Amino acid sequence: METIKINNSVFLIPPSQPKLQANCAKEYGQFLLDCPPKLTILEAQAGGYLKGSKADFAIAISRPDRLLTINENFTNEPFTELWVIPVTGGLKDQFKGPASMLLSFLMHRRSKDSFAGLYNHFAHRAFQQWCEDGMPGDPKEFCYAAIASVLKNYIFCAEFQKVEGALGTYWFIQWSYRNPQSDFEHDALVAAEMIRSGAESGATLHWVTNETYERWASNAIVTAPALPAVSEAEARASLQAQNQQVLPQGNKR
């Protein structure tokens, strides 16, 4: 077990990463933590696996899309992987006081597109600033530097949104961002930066492994190979919507 202590706050890095799932199916629209597969929502509630429909995070890593085939629902589909520290909501409330832990989960379809759209906003804003500053140097480097500072400075808010589509009810995660509002949230951003910097050198890579998803999707047909070290450049590149398939809204879940 690893811990990171920042001022009066402490953050747990579990030895075996809990399985955080954002369940967008039918009656759910909730975060689930370490939930066994194929439970009904009543069974999940009785087991204490439901962690609410809202959560705010300090984001340590946003990894580029990976193609995964998981059970009968997802065939060769792109998922975005996040390493996050919850600072509000049911995921945080399991810890008393200024404490939380590192979690990792996969996003897909409309939730993934919402996250990518948020970072497109930052890239657009950075490009406008570059123009206003007299277009100094390479615009890509200017924008990358601006986007790289986003994870250090903002808390990211995830809230499930209900959609009635042609195939019935489904949910997706709507992403937004805000400034940190407490010493604990500032500390969480510092801890996330430490994890991100450690991942660049490979020092913290073992903290979140593919075992998380192998346990979460025990009937996965394909699992990804071992993850390489995450560079800051890769983390920045993952914040763009490049090479992401945009599906018609009625088909997203």
Average pLDDT of the chain, as a whole number = 76
More confident residue, 183 or 104: 183
pTM of the model: 0.76
Structural domain spans, the chain: 2-221
Confidence of residue 117 (pLDDT cuts 50, 70, 90): confident
User: What is residue 92's predicted lDDT score, i.e. its pLDDT?
Assistant: 94
Percent of the chain with pLDDT over 70: 72
Over the chain, what HEC string results? Answer: CEEEEECCEEEEECCCCCEEEEECECCCCEEEECCCCCCCHHHHHHCCCECCCEEEEEEEEEEEEEEEEECCCEEEEEEEEEEEEEEEEHHHHCCCCCEEECEEEEEEHHHHHHHHHHHHHHHHHHHHHHHHCCCCCCHHHHHHHHHHCHHHHCEEEEEEEEEEECCEEEEEEEEEEECCCCHHHHHHHHHHHHHHHHHHHCCCHHHCCCHHHHHHCCCCCECCCCCCCCCHHHHHHCCCCCCCCCCCHHHCC
Kindly report, residue by residue over 21-45, the tens digit of the pLDDT.
887 777 788 888 888 877 888 898 8
Cβ–Cβ under 8 Å, residues 72 and 217:
no
Kindly report, residue by residue over 64-113, the tens digit of the pLDDT.
667 766 666 666 677 788 889 999 999 999 899 999 999 988 887 778 77
The number of residues making up the chain comes to: 253
Task: Give dist(CA 109, CA 15) in Å, integer.
Answer: 30
Query: Is the pLDDT reported for residue 243 higher than 50?
Result: no
Kindly report, residue by residue over 193-231, the tens digit of the pLDDT.
888 877 666 666 666 555 544 544 444 433 333 334 445
- How large is the average pLDDT for residues 121-147? 81
Confidence of residue 185 (pLDDT cuts 50, 70, 90): very high
The neighbour count for residue 165, using CB atoms within 10 Å, is 12
Per-residue exposure over 193-231, b if at least 16 CB sit within 10 Å of its own CB, e if not = bbbbebbbeeebbebbebebbeebbeebeeeeeebeebe
Task: Give dist(CA 5, CA 201) in Å, integer.
Answer: 20
User: What is residue 251's predicted lDDT score, i.e. its pLDDT?
Assistant: 42
- Beta-carbon contacts of residue 166 (< 8 Å; ≥ 6 apart): 250
More confident residue, 174 or 16: 174
Percent of the chain with pLDDT over 90: 21
The neighbour count for residue 153, using CB atoms within 10 Å, is 12
- How large is the average pLDDT for residues 218-247? 43
